[in-house]
Structure 1
Amino acid sequence: MAGSTHSLSSSTMHEKTPVPAGAAVTSTDEKDPAHARAYSDNPDRDLERGTIVAGTDYDDDDDDEDDGSEKKKQPTTAATEPRDAKPGAGDPPAGGAAAPGPGSAPAGGDDFPDGGLQAWLVVLGGWCALFCTFGLVNCVGVFEQYYVNGPLRQYSSSTVSWILSVQVWTMIFSGTVFGRLFDNYGPRWLLWGGTVAYVFGLMMVSLSREYYQFFLAQAIVGSVGSSAVFNACMSSLVSWFSKNRSAAFGVMVSGSSVGGVVLPIMMTKLIDSIGFPWMMRAMAFMFLGLLLVACLTVRPRLAPRPRPFKFMEYVNNLRDVRLLVTIIGFFLFMWGMFLPFNYVLLQAEAAGTSPSLIPYLLPILNAVSIFGRIIPGIIADKLGRYNVMVFITFISALFCLAVWTPVKNTAGILVFMIIFGFSSGGFISLGPTCIAQISDIREIGTRVGTAFAIQSFGALTGSPIGGAIVSAQHGSYLGLQLFCGFSMLAGSIVLLGARFTQAGLKLVKV
């Protein structure tokens, strides 16, 4: 081996000692010099302690001793710079995450498979999970229409919309807890426990008759289970892909769009033929089968690192200006994003749309969003995730204000839904990848959970505000449309600011 051997005594094993370039690091085991070890079985931990040198490549000796002794690990190269004990440019920011450059892979390991059987099985399992979870969220318009015209007809549309808004809020906000549980324990128990809770909640919806029963079953119990499932899938996928991460996310999240195409039609047909309760039970059994696929295929690449819960870790994440500005942009955009999903069917009814066409409006929107979730992801991996995110959020806001606002007929509603379905679909698939780009991969669950917790309040309050505006304007949807468009426009502008914090005004991949 090139370079001299630099021996360290056991008393200095954990000190951050500068090592000249070309030198190898070993240590002498005082009890058994024949089995000297330079470091432990966890190179990442040794790197943090300073017992090995960053950039050194290590090979395992596959020749185990017959007496059961541990493997020897020998450095194969040692061409590194001295390690300085003082904080420097390479240290993580106050938010706890590493600071990769624009468009670079996050810290936490650069050996992403970016493909392979197991990686794509994770995508498959995530696709099934997103079909069942956010696929149903894409059907909130069906629930709104059924509740307002059926068992909850004595309540206003604004009051009924609280069930659906809290459903989305619970799903997203619970990511705060489930993200940390993922970091500590991995996805296994989140998937199995979430599946049981989600299916149970849907069954309870089928038995509900009163407002509070629908609220507890759909907005609380079912949503908590749904959140556990989709958080486990999204956090698992991040560790398998780097260069192709946005494309992989787009494929996985397209499951929710396919669900948004299939489920509204299925729900409407089954409600007419067997009634709402049995429709919910049939859907719950179908979801059970798909979620079992997710439970059996979704696996993490990195072993979990259990550590005690500390609330300040969530607060400290926000000291990273890039993450803070990104989250604010997400909140503002989500404030308006769900309004078309929630109210377009009611608006179509008011506009005199044919009753035979109304059940297909949401499927049309979600069918277009399949392409909106995949194509922007592929482009984002080439041109930059923040660059594409700023563009698609601006397009969503622009067409909401320029197309949806003046709409008074069925044709105009259809045109808007096609455009909005494509542009808004990209926001769903690119959101987690933008956060992953500026985060330590080993803390991805906590940091995505922090983002979800804050932006969830946009989903919680957006629809009730929209419903209150419609009621105040005696059934006119103009105020709701303006609120939707300007909220998303503000989100796009703030996301442009998040891009600026990373690369300024330079035309580079971010």
Structure 2
Amino acid sequence: MHGQWTGLGEPPQATDGMAPDNWGADGARAYVGKAEWAAVEFVAPADLRAETATDKPCDGPYAWAVIFACFVSLMLSIGINDAYGVYQQHYQLTEFPDATATIISWVGTVQFLVMCVGGVLSGFLCERFDTRVLNAVGAVVMGAAFVAGSFCRSIGGLMATQGLLYGVGASFPFIAGTSIPTQWFTKRRGLATGIALSGSGVGGMWMTSATTAMISSVGRPWAMRITGIVAMLAVLAVSPWMRVRIVPSRSEHTIDWSMVRNPRFLVLLGAVVFAVAAYFGPFYQMPSYSVVVLHKSETWGSNMDTLMNGLSVVGRLAIGLLADSVGPLNLLIANTALAAVSLLALWVAFDTVGTLIAVALLFGFAIGGIVSVIPVVAAQVFGLARIPSIIGLLFIGYFAGGLLGVPPMSALLDNVGHRTDYTGAIWYMALLPVCSLLFLLVLRLMLTRQLRVKI
């Protein structure tokens, strides 16, 4: 059968991360060798029509410079969003004590939702225009948003600046930093992507501590000005290295909306919705929970966010190291199960200091691995050439997850828990990763029914 691999003997070998020409066009083939683990490849036919955007080789020194640039860009985009729990605590307990937790949470929620909506557009733009220029534009808008927010004295003003405007700017380094790393590596793709995406955890970790210290010493306005200026300068500095290596052919310059009719994509999208919904709840509410329920100081509460972000870095790096040998989807399933267990078995059942620390450790590690491996799973299942556009489409799931996560949880805290009883909100948070896990198990069954397959 010319032009199609029958599954007998050695499979055709791919080079440079591209699908070999004699694979079938259906985009999915599985080869089970003599080894205990079977290697499974899922490569989209879009790779066959890809063009090289640069003569820089993959897996080389320049590729690692790109990873560093992505690390910094994510550290100062999504990392700042991860640290919003400090602002949530400050607004809720000090600056706007009469406002509901739901209203205050919308500042950070709008910030993230706009990043996701902008991600769909920026994924398309990254395939048409120079990502280095787009990253630099995003840096300027990010910085301007926080400086403008420093002069706001109302929740509405903060929602427009710290939320809306910052989300617009951050969407460019967010989508570029998330999608570019998979294109620059073939041998250590999981590790490289894990290192790049660990930037968000590092950013959340040090920005949480730095924001707490700045608010205490110079006040919230100057804390925002310093944050905006640092973010702008750092992302501008690394923008020259924020470039793609593979682009679709010129005839393919459009968002691939056909993906929304792909059953595998829809199932992955469902898993992403609930995973993202589960992501921000603990980061937003654990600081105030520490103060209200455990009667700890505000600084101690913000340290819980720092601890979660620190473990999320460890999770990203660990998953990156293991993804190439164990399989990214296998690890995504394992980490989602760990996130569910950490909330259901610990935070739901106990309200002690030791338990909260354990939740921060386990959930931080698990959620870090989840966010770092999603782009690797997408690249493996759908191919490399359209990965910015595909990640952009997945941001629809990020957007839906943002709506499904913090706002309902905060409403439960306000209306059922009366801002003091977190039980209903914690139960809600705990069920979200369970739903994500169910979607991931369905996706794995769609790809293969063999339990011991690396995928």
Q: How high is the TM-score relative to the length of structure 2?
A: 0.87
Corresponding residue for 1:142?
86
Q: CA deviation at 1:509?
A: 0.7
Corresponding residue for 2:440?
495
- For 1:293 and 1:459, the matched residues in 2 are separated by 30
CA-to-partner distance for each residue in 1:190-220, whole Å, 9 max, x for gaps? Answer: 1121111111111111111122210111111
Contact 2:286–2:301, Cα closer than 8 Å, also in 1: no
SS of the counterpart of 2:385? helix
What is the identity, as a one-letter code, of the residue corresponding to 1:509?
A: K
Closer, same or farther in 2 for the Cα pair 1:236/1:270, shift >3 Å? same
Corresponding residue for 1:482?
427
Q: Does 1:154 align with 2:91?
A: no
Identity %: 25
- For 1:467 and 1:322, the matched residues in 2 are separated by 32
Q: CA deviation at 1:363?
A: 1.0
- For 1:303 and 1:505, the matched residues in 2 are separated by 33
Contact 1:328–1:455, Cα closer than 8 Å, also in 2: no
Q: CA deviation at 1:303?
A: 4.8
Q: Does 1:99 align with 2:42?
A: no
Which stretch has the larger CA shift, 100-109 or 148-157?
Answer: 100-109
Q: Does 1:275 align with 2:212?
A: no
* Greater RCO, CA 8 A, separation 6+: 2
What is the identity, as a one-letter code, of the residue corresponding to 2:273?
A: F
Contact 2:248–2:386, Cα closer than 8 Å, also in 1: no
Q: CA deviation at 1:105?
A: 6.3
Q: Does 1:469 align with 2:433?
A: no
What is the identity, as a one-letter code, of the residue corresponding to 1:128?
A: V
Corresponding residue for 2:71?
127
Contact 2:142–2:231, Cα closer than 8 Å, also in 1: no
What is the identity, as a one-letter code, of the residue corresponding to 1:168?
A: F
Following superposition of structure 1 onto structure 2, how do residues 197-212 of structure 1 map, counting pairs within 5 Å? 197-212=141-156
Match among 282, 285, 288 for residue 346 of structure 1: 288
- For 1:220 and 1:306, the matched residues in 2 are separated by 33
Q: CA deviation at 1:100?
A: 5.1
Q: CA deviation at 1:440?
A: 3.0
- For 2:315 and 2:142, the matched residues in 1 are separated by 27
Aligned residues: 423
Contact 2:67–2:181, Cα closer than 8 Å, also in 1: yes
Q: Does 1:384 align with 2:361?
A: no
Corresponding residue for 1:90?
24
Closer, same or farther in 2 for the Cα pair 1:458/1:355, shift >3 Å? closer
Q: Does 1:289 align with 2:223?
A: no
What is the identity, as a one-letter code, of the residue corresponding to 1:290?
A: A
SS of the counterpart of 2:387? helix
Closer, same or farther in 2 for the Cα pair 1:470/1:126, shift >3 Å? same
- For 2:89 and 2:40, the matched residues in 1 are separated by 43
Following superposition of structure 1 onto structure 2, how do residues 401-420 of structure 1 map, counting pairs within 5 Å? 401-420=344-363
Q: CA deviation at 1:407?
A: 2.4
Q: CA deviation at 1:354?
A: 3.8
What is the identity, as a one-letter code, of the residue corresponding to 1:487?
A: L
Q: Does 1:330 align with 2:272?
A: yes
Q: CA deviation at 1:155?
A: 1.3
Corresponding residue for 1:451?
394
Q: Give every structure 1 segment of 4 or more consecutive aligned residues whose post-TM-superposition deviation is greater than 3 Å.
A: 98-103, 109-114, 303-311
- For 1:241 and 1:338, the matched residues in 2 are separated by 30
Closer, same or farther in 2 for the Cα pair 1:103/1:169, shift >3 Å? farther
Contact 2:246–2:384, Cα closer than 8 Å, also in 1: no
- For 1:477 and 1:90, the matched residues in 2 are separated by 53
What is the identity, as a one-letter code, of the residue corresponding to 1:414?
A: I
Closer, same or farther in 2 for the Cα pair 1:356/1:177, shift >3 Å? closer
Ranges in structure 1 where 5+ consecutive residues have no aligned partner: 1-17, 20-53, 58-79, 82-88, 93-97
Match among 181, 186, 203 for residue 125 of structure 2: 181
Corresponding residue for 2:312?
369
Closer, same or farther in 2 for the Cα pair 1:100/1:196, shift >3 Å? farther
- For 2:154 and 2:265, the matched residues in 1 are separated by 41
- For 2:404 and 2:269, the matched residues in 1 are separated by 16
Q: Does 1:320 align with 2:262?
A: yes
Closer, same or farther in 2 for the Cα pair 1:481/1:269, shift >3 Å? same
RMSD between aligned residues = 2.5
SS of the counterpart of 1:353? coil
Contact 1:250–1:429, Cα closer than 8 Å, also in 2: yes
Which stretch has the larger CA shift, 243-252 or 340-349?
Answer: 243-252
Q: CA deviation at 1:235?
A: 2.3
- For 2:331 and 2:78, the matched residues in 1 are separated by 22
Q: CA deviation at 1:445?
A: 1.5
Q: CA deviation at 1:369?
A: 1.2
CA-to-partner distance for each residue in 1:160-181, whole Å, 9 max, x for gaps? Answer: 1111112111112221111111
The structure with more helix, counted as a fraction of residues: 2
Ranges in structure 2 where 5+ consecutive residues have no aligned partner: 4-11, 16-20, 31-38
Contact 1:334–1:459, Cα closer than 8 Å, also in 2: yes
- For 1:436 and 1:490, the matched residues in 2 are separated by 23
- For 1:114 and 1:509, the matched residues in 2 are separated by 23
Q: CA deviation at 1:246?
A: 1.5
- For 2:300 and 2:383, the matched residues in 1 are separated by 47
- For 1:355 and 1:190, the matched residues in 2 are separated by 38
Contact 1:330–1:491, Cα closer than 8 Å, also in 2: yes
- For 1:505 and 1:236, the matched residues in 2 are separated by 31
Match among 337, 347, 351 for residue 394 of structure 1: 337
SS of the counterpart of 1:90? coil
Q: CA deviation at 1:356?
A: 4.6
Return the index of the structure with the highest Cα Rg. Answer: 1
- For 2:430 and 2:345, the matched residues in 1 are separated by 9
What is the identity, as a one-letter code, of the residue corresponding to 2:287?
A: L
- For 1:264 and 1:284, the matched residues in 2 are separated by 14
- For 2:41 and 2:405, the matched residues in 1 are separated by 34
Q: Does 1:246 align with 2:190?
A: yes
Q: CA deviation at 1:483?
A: 1.0
Contact 1:165–1:461, Cα closer than 8 Å, also in 2: no
- For 2:183 and 2:263, the matched residues in 1 are separated by 23
SS of the counterpart of 2:273? helix
Corresponding residue for 2:36?
none
